[in-house]
Structures are given as C-alpha cells and as structure tokens.
Structure 1
Amino acid sequence: MPKPLSILFVDDDEMSRTHFARAVQGLYPVHLARNADEAIEILEEHGADIAVLVTDFRMPVSNGDQLLREAAQRYPRIVRILVTAYADKDMLLRTVNTGGVFRIIEKPLRIEAVRETLREAIAQWTERETRQHQLLAMDETLAFLAHELNTPLATIALIAQTIENGSIGASDPMPQSKVADAATSMLANAQYCMTLISSFWASLHKSGGAQSLSRAGAREVRATRLIATLLDTYPFSASQRDWITVDVRDDFIVRAMPNCVTLVLSSLLSNALRALSRTPRPALRIEVLDTLEPQIRVRDNGPGIAPEIKARLLRDPITTHAEEGGHGMGMIFCNRIMRSFGGGLEIDSTVGVGTTVTMRFGTRKECARATDAQRPLEPQSSLDTPG
C-alpha cells in the first residue's frame, strides 16, 4: 500500500512547531523542520509523500520565500502555504507571485484556522492530482490511438507506392485484378481509421470528455456491451465477421476506462484478423469470463507466434507484420493500459495451432492497489470532516 500523504511544517521556533503538530495531530502525518536546509533534506527523502508545505517567512539564513521558490521548481505538485507575523505588503505580493503560494496564515496560529486552511490545501492538491492523471491518461490514450492509426495508414501508403511503381515506366503494367484488390485493401484500411476516430470521439464526448479518461469519470459498462459495440462498428472486409463467435460464460461490469478498453479490444481484434487472413478455416472466439478475476479472451486458430517472439511482445517493440507498417508498440500499449487497471495481458500461443490473448482486469485486491496509487489525500481521522 502507498504511504499516507503528509504535511511538512517549517519554523525555527520550537513552540510554533509543537503547536502546529498538535493542531493536526491525528489528522495527517507531519514532518517538522527548523529551517530551509532541513526542509530540503526532508523533501529529498519524502517528497513523493508530502502534499502540503507550510513554512514560516522569517527564518535564519534562508527565508521562507526562498524555500517556497525552490519547492515550486522542484516539487510543483506540493501545495505551498506561507506563515507570517508581518504585514509587509510588498513582501507578501512578491512571495505569492514567485513562490506560488496557495494561502497565507497569520501568526499566532489558531487551531481551527490551521485545520481549515489544510482542508482547502488538500482539496487543491486533489484537484491538481486529478487533472494530472487526466492529462497522463489522455496522453497514453492518444499515443495508443496514434499507433492504431499508424499501421493501416502505412499499409495504404505501401499499396499506393506499389501501384505507382507498377504503373510508371513499367513494360508489364499491373493487372487490373491486382489493382482492384489493392483498392479494396486501401478502402478497408481507410474505413478502419475513420471508424476508429469517429467511435472514439463519440464515446469520449458522450462520457464527459477528458474526465472519462480518469477513474473519477469512468462509466460502468458491461463487457458484452463493449464487445457488441465494437463488432457493430468494426470495418470488417469480406466474410471476416462470420469468423467471429462470442462466448459469454459470465458477464461483468468494466469499471475501468471504457474508451481505453475499447481501443485494446480493437487492437487485439485487428491482430487476430490479420493472423487469420491466410488460414483455410479461420475462427475467432471472444470469451467473457467473470471468475475470481474478470477476463476477456481473444482466441484464434491462426498460425501462432514463435516462442522467441511471444516472449518479447509485451516488453520489446517487436512485430510480426513489419511489412505492413507495424512497429511493435501495440501490445506494449495494450499491456500498459490493462496494468493501469490492476490487471494485464497474457499471451498463449502455439505455432500451427493458434493464439489466445487474455485481457485480465485484475482481482479486487489488485484493482484496489491500482486505485490507491491514484487516491487523493484523505484525512486519517473523522475530526477532519466539517460539522
């Protein structure tokens, strides 16, 4: 379990440090420092666990405003509060502007004022963390979306180049049948790109924009619903849809980010269909299981994956279709997304028999750990609840 997030209080006066520690006793862990140098040492050791920095202004050697400026540069996540007994307007303005001060507390410290200010600071920290997680989730998702678009677009470019090379200055022009097949392939890849963008855009906006990419804005959608929506919108070519069967043993609610789960499913489906393109009797089964750990399995009877490649698929940028523009990042992205839910991907493949990719959504304990890693700072006592 992650360490509880804490408060750092800096003051050269021992009585002030004791008074502050008593004011928040039982609410949050508190680190105490006598000066800026001690504060920096504590930040270097415990910076990842500190949510709020509260510092006196007048201190020997280095004033609080210098500490606040350094903390703002090195630890921007931390909410910064200034304590002062001086009503120096210019000083206060300068410190607020350069040190990113959230609040100013006047001495002498009053317990209720300290607690209320800390509640506001924690709310500010929570808002910052939520926004940061949303941005990281958006960045990860857009990178994955870019990867999913890269392969079909690269395929279109390669086909177009082949047609161009076979038409310009060639003594034996490309047969019309091959041109038609090439055009069909380009159309299918273009449709896949357009469908992926439109479905992702629609689901993103229906579920609240960027908020839907964070756990705070995650919707509860059943696994079968995600699969049905994907199969309804996926740009299958020829008889590909007939290859697919869905086996629902136990449905479950996907409590993760549905947009990201859909992207993972789409990527696995695309890989499986590509693997089945030269299989005499292609078959692809999507299984939904809700046992100790909810799972979605994508199982095909394609050519399988060589052991030396399978062993590297989830950690190295390796691909089995480089000639079609693949660069091997897809499975890595898929695994990272599933791991962020407390689960992960598993690949089971036998050459000549087929491949099964399992999307693990994590046990309750694993999901709780994944959620706790992003949980906002919470009070450790009911005393922190107003009223």
Structure 2
Amino acid sequence: MSDTLQAPFAVLFVDDDEMSRQHFTRAVSEDYRVHIARGADEAMAVLKEHAAEIAVLVTDFRMPGRDGDDLLRQVAQDYPQIVRILVTAYADKHMLLQTVNSGDVFRILEKPLRTETVCEVLQLAMARYTERETRQQRLSAMDETLAFLAHELNTPLATISLFARAVEADVAEQYDPERQKEIAHAARSMLSNAQYCLTLISSFWATVHKSGGQQSSAGGGVREVKATRLLATLLDTYPFVASQREWVQVDVQGDFVVHAMPNCVALVLSSLLSNALRALDGTSAASLRLEVVASPEPEIRIRDNGPGIAPEIKARLLLDPVTTYAGAGGHGMGMIFCNRIMRSFGGSLRIESTLGAGTTVTMVFPASKSRARATDEKQSSGSEIASP
C-alpha cells in the first residue's frame, strides 16, 4: 500500500499485553486504522461503537477472564461480517483444534508475530471482507429489484382488471358520445398499463440473455457491461408504439463500464424510458434524448421535451409515492424504487424539470476505482513484532 492511502476499513487488535498492542499498532498503522482493546469485554465495547468501519478482528487466545475463543464466538454471532484472526503460542495448538473446526476463523497466527506475515494475512483478510460486502450489496440490489417488480407489475395489472370489468359492464348499456369517450380512455389506459408490464418483463429478460448473463469465469464477480451496450439492448427490445422509436436519439459523449449489477440498471433504464415516453404522449414534435457521459462522473441522462413536472411534485418524487398519472394507473412507487436500486450500489438519481420545458432524469454511477495499488516495501518487513 502507499504511504498516503490507507485501506477503507479498520482492524481491531485485542491483547492484554500493552507492549504487544503498541508494537502491533506501529507495525500496521501505516496501512490501516487500528483500534485496540485489552480484553474481550473491552473489544465488544469498541465494536459496539465502531463496527461499521472494522473489517478484521485479531485477538490473542490467552487473556484474563474471557479468552480469545469466547470472543471469537460472540463476534461470529453478533458481527458475522467481520473477518476473524486468532493469535496463539505454539503450546496452545492442541487447545485450538475445536476452535478451528467449529468456529469461522480465517487464519491462526503464531507468536512471535512477524510484521511481514501479519501484513500479508491482513491483506487477505481485507480482501475476504470486501468479497462479503460485495456479496451483500448484490443481495440488497436483488431484493430491491424484486420489490420493484412486485410494485411495478402488481398495480398496473390491478388497474387493467378494474378497467376491464368497467368496460365489460358498459358493453350492454346504452351510452351517449361522452360515455364513449370515457370508455375509449379506459381502453387506452388498459393498453398503456399492459404495455408497461410487458416492457419491464421483456427488457429484464433480454438483458439477462442477450448481454451475457454469465458471471466472469475468472473472478466470479459481476460481469462488466458498457453503458452503451445496455442502452442498445434496451432500444432493440423495447416494444415501442407507433412513432415512439423515432422520438429517441442517443448521444454518447463518453462510454463507461457499469460495475453494478447490469440487470438492475437495465430495469431502472426501462422504467425511466417508459416514464419519459408516457410524458411525451400528445406532445408536438416529441423528443427523447439518451445521453451517456463518462466524466466528470459516469452518468446516463434521459431528456424529454414533455410538459415537465410541477416543483411540488418533483421535490417529493424520490421520497413519497406521488404521481402525475394516477388516472392511467400510476402509483408513484416507480421512482422511489429506481432511486433505491441506484443507491444500493453507491449511485443515485437526479431529477431536473421545468414546466413546459421538459424533464431530465440523470442516473449517476459511482466512479470507477482503480484496483492498482502502490506497494512500498518496508525496510522492517522481516522484523518481529515483540510479544511476551
């Protein structure tokens, strides 16, 4: 690691010997933030306050009162995301068999601790913690996606059912021209809601199967898909109506890799495109511009020249279930869940709108972080960390 860039997470070192705590802190504080504790109870107090930033626990086995084995079990139960490392003397090995076999211990370090070995194991432990965090992030994004689908599909389908029953009841009745208009409006709303459901399903399915849904065989991580590829897939599969496709223009000012789950991003894109097309219905010289921007931060912008959104509605769109399409089955949950999906992987949504001048919705993605890190060799890499 470089002299100026520390790992984003901290290490908790637990040992009742003051000299051991001092030497450990000096050995690794250049690369990691270090919290220290003299025993199991003090360690739990530190975790209660700083668990959000602590990624790795390193604890001595033999300590007065509760030993390291007891601490490891409690941390495994209360803070399972923390990677746990046990420090022990050679004489303790036979006593540790049960701990190793039954507990989730990432590594065992033998005394006397060597700086080079400790730094190597901490790097591996941080990598393990990052993997766990990434996995949890993906699960959260998928949970948001499932919730999004449930809300987005359930309400329109319920609306279709209600309109269908209303039309069925009116078929046998005598009605004047005004009533005919109402029935025609109901029919259009049925079509709009059905089309929206089909759009979500087809876009999500196409993204999974046509954009290479398999995970990277090399790293087992999320596949890397360019923003332009997601847009192209969406536009190829979206069931545009009448001249809607002619409204759409794509402006690529700089492409970028979407490191988040592409299926979730495609779902957000599909929803935002549907909203924009619905806003443009009836607009003279309708225009919908999709912009891909790589800097100063990765963004996808959806610009339309529709009627715009009233300020009091815009201010609540990402917070409350408000909608300007209640008559067509809108329920206002779509933007909330789109925002939650974006936020689940560190992104966000930004809405700019002026009445009579259109709306721009911007999908902001977290900047790509270089995985390359400077590796400075320490002069004391082969030295030992003193221990009693």
**TM-score, scaled to structure 2:** 0.77
| SS class of match (2:87) | strand
CA drift of 1:348 comes to 0.7
| SS class of match (1:101) | coil
Contact kept in structure 1, 2:306 and 2:357, CA below 8 Å = yes
147-156 vs 335-344, which deviates more?
A: 335-344
Residues 113 and 60 of structure 1: is their aligned pair in 2 closer, same or farther, counting only changes over 3 Å?
same
Matched to 2:351, the amino acid is E
Partner of 2:351: 346
- Report the counterpart of residue 283 of structure 1 in structure 2: 286
CA contact (8 A) 1:302 1:354 kept: yes
Measured in 1, the distance between the counterparts of 2:202 and 2:119 equals 48
After superposition, the Cα gap between the structure-2 partners of 1:2 and 1:181, relative to the gap in structure 1 and judged at 3 Å, is: farther
Are the aligned partners of 1:188 and 1:237 in contact in 2 as well (CA < 8 Å)? Answer: no
Two-structure CA RMSD over aligned residues (Å): 4.0
Residue 106 of structure 2 aligns to a residue whose secondary structure is: strand
The yes-or-no answer on 1:44 pairing with 2:48 is yes
Distance 1:97 1:284, change over 3 A: farther
1:144 is displaced (CA, Å) by: 3.0
> Kindly tell me: are residues 101 and 227 of structure 1, through their superposed partners in 2, closer, same or farther at Cα, counting changes over 3 Å?
closer
Normalised by the size of structure 1, how large is the TM-score? 0.77
2:137 and 2:161 map into 1 onto residues whose CA distance is: 35
1:50 is matched by which residue type in structure 2?
I
Between 108-117 and 260-269, the greater mean CA deviation after superposition:
108-117
1:56 to 17, 36, 60: 60
* Greater percentage in helix: 1
Give the equivalent residue in structure 1 for 2:386.
none
2:107 aligns with 103
Q: Which amino acid aligns with 1:44?
A: K
Q: Matched residue of 2:359: which SS? A: strand
Matches within 5 A, 1:119-134: 119-134=123-138
Q: Is the 8 A contact 1:230 1:262 kept in 2?
A: yes
In structure 2, do the counterparts of structure 1 residues 71 and 294 end up closer, same or farther at CA, with 3 Å as the change threshold? closer
Paired with 1:210 and 1:14, the residues of 2 have a C-alpha distance of 47
* Alpha-carbon offset, residue 227 of structure 1: 3.5
Aligned to 1:229: 233
1:257-296, CA deviations, whole angstroms, 9 ceiling, x for partnerless residues?
443333233212212232333x263613214264755654
Distance 1:382 1:262, change over 3 A: farther
Q: Residues of 2 paired with 1:124 and 1:152: CA distance? A: 43
Residue 83 of structure 1 pairs with residue 77 of structure 2:
no
Q: Which residue of 2 aligns with 1:193?
A: 197
Aligned partners of 1:283 and 1:301 also within 8 Å: yes
Describe the superposition over 1:184-234 as per-residue Cα deviations: whole angstroms up to 9, x where unpaired. Answer: 76566445434432432342354445779x9963524243x5434323321
| Alignment-derived partner of residue 146 in structure 2 | 142
- Alignment of 1:153 with 2:157, yes or no, is yes
Work out whether residues 158 and 324 of structure 1, in 8 Å CA contact, stay in contact via their aligned partners in 2: no
- Greater relative contact order (Cα < 8 A, sep 6+): 2
For the pair 1:17 / 2:9, whether they are aligned, the reply is no
Deviation at 1:299, TM superposition (A): 3.7
Q: Secondary structure at the match of 2:253?
A: coil
- Please state how far the C-alpha of 1:180 moved relative to its aligned partner: 9.0
Is contact 1:80-1:101 (8 Å) kept? yes
Residue-by-residue CA offset, 1:13-56 (whole Å, 9 max, x unaligned): 23433443455453433322211122122222322222111112
2:288 maps to amino acid:
R
Change (3 A) 1:49 1:280: closer
Deviations 1:300-326 (A, max 9, x none): 444433332122112222122234443
Q: Distance in 2 between matches of 1:25 and 1:2?
A: 9
CA spacing shift, 1:161–1:94, aligned 2, 3 Å = farther
Is 1:326 aligned with 2:334? no
For structure 2, the residue ranges without an aligned partner over 5 or more in a row are: 382-388
1:80: how far off?
A: 0.8
Distance change in 2, residues 1:53/1:289 (3 Å): closer
Give the structure 1 partner of residue 385 of structure 2: none
